[in-house]
Structure 1
C-alpha cells in the first residue's frame, strides 16, 4: 500500500506534528491498524478507505498507540494532504469531505488546508472536584486556573486558561495524577506573531504530551474565539518539545475553522 508521513502545522521542515497515512487500506484489519499505530509510535496513524456516506470523498480511521479516535485535527489535515497528493479529486471543487467517526468533516483548500470544527460532544463548565484534580495534575494552585470548560470533540478535552503563555510553558505535570483526564492548557502572549501558547497533555492517548493538536485548538476556538480571543488568531504549540507549530484559527459566524501548513516528509509503500 502507498504510505505517506506528513508534517502538519509548520511551514518549516520537521517542526510540526507528523502523521502516518496508509492509503487504500480497506482490507487492513482492526488488529493490523492497532499494531501499526503502536509500531509507528506517532501521536496518530491514519488509514484511508473508500467512503460509505453520500457526499464523502474518503473515509478515515484514526489511531493512537493507545486506540482509535473518532476525530483528531492534525490527522485530518495531514490525511487530506496525502489523499490530494496521491491524486484524489474531491466531489466539490475547493472542499474535501472526510468521513470519520465524528461524522462528515469539511476541509477547505485556500492558502492552507483548514477543517471545520466538528460539534462538541461535551461542553460547559467544569465542576470544582474536576478543577481540583486538574490543578493537582498540573502541579499548580487551584487559583491559577482562571477559567475552564469542557471542549470535547471526541478525544475528551477539558480546556483550562492560565495567566499567560509563560505559565503554560513552565508546567511540569504529574502524569500519575491525571486519572483519565486529557487537559488542554492555554495562555495568552502580550504581543508577537502568536496570540496564545497551547499545550496538550494526553496520557490517555498513549503519550504524555502531543506536539501540535488540531482537535484541541478546534475546541479552544469554539470556547474562546470572538470572546476572550479575537475572531481570527494564530496559536503556538510545541515550544516545550522543540517544535514550532502554528495553528490558524478563524471564527466565521457560528463556524470555527482550524488550518495549518502541511508537507510530505516521507513517501513510499508499506506491507502489513
Structure 2
C-alpha cells in the first residue's frame, strides 16, 4: 500500500543497459564520406565540368584521329601503322585541367562560402574529414579517368579504321595509366586546396607546379634542374602513359605520382590543424 502512495515522478526508473541503448548511425568515417559525397555532387560546377570535359575530349580526339587517318592515307601508309593509344590520349592535355578544377572546387568552395566551419563542427576530427574528402576525390577522379581512357581509345579505334594498331591489352594499359595519372593529379590538387584555400590561387599554383615548372626546368641548361624536372607530376605522368623506359619506367612513375599526392595531402592536413578554419 505504501508503494502505491509514492508519486510516479518520484519512483526510481530502471536504467537501460548498454545492450538496450540504440546504436548511433550515420557517424564515423562512413558518415563523413557520405556527407562529402553529397556536398560534391550538389555543386552544379561539378556536373558542368564533367559534361564539358567529356564533350571536349570526344570532339578533340575525333578530330585528331580523323586528321591522322587522312594524313596516313595521303602518304600511302600501311594498315595497322598507327597505335590507338597515341591518338586516344591526345585529348588528355585538355581534360586534365578539368580534373584539377574538380579537386580544387571540392575544397575551396567550402572556404569561399564559409561552410568549412560547419563541416569542421560536424566532423571535428580533422584527419577524418581530410580522409573522407580524399576518398571522394579519389573515387571521382578514378572513375573519370576510366571513362576518359575508354572514350579516347574507343573514338580513336573507330576513327582510325584499318590504320589502327594495338589490341585490347593495349587499351587496358592506356586506361590504367590515364586513371592513375588523373587520380594522383586530382588528389595532389586537393592537397594544394587545403594549403592555399583560394580557388583562383590554388588553380594558379597547380598550373605552375604541374605545367610551368617542368617547362622551366627543362629550358635551363642545368643537369640538376633537368633531373628534378623529370620527377615532377607532369613528367611522371607522361612517362607512365607513353610506357617509357628512360629515364625510368612505369613502376617508378606510379611511385612518383603517388608520392606527390601523399605529400600534398599531408601538408594540407598539417596546415589545417594549425590554422583551422
* TM-score in terms of structure 2 length: 0.26
Indicate the structure with greater helix content: 2
Indicate the structure with greater strand content: 1
Structure number, greater radius of gyration: 2
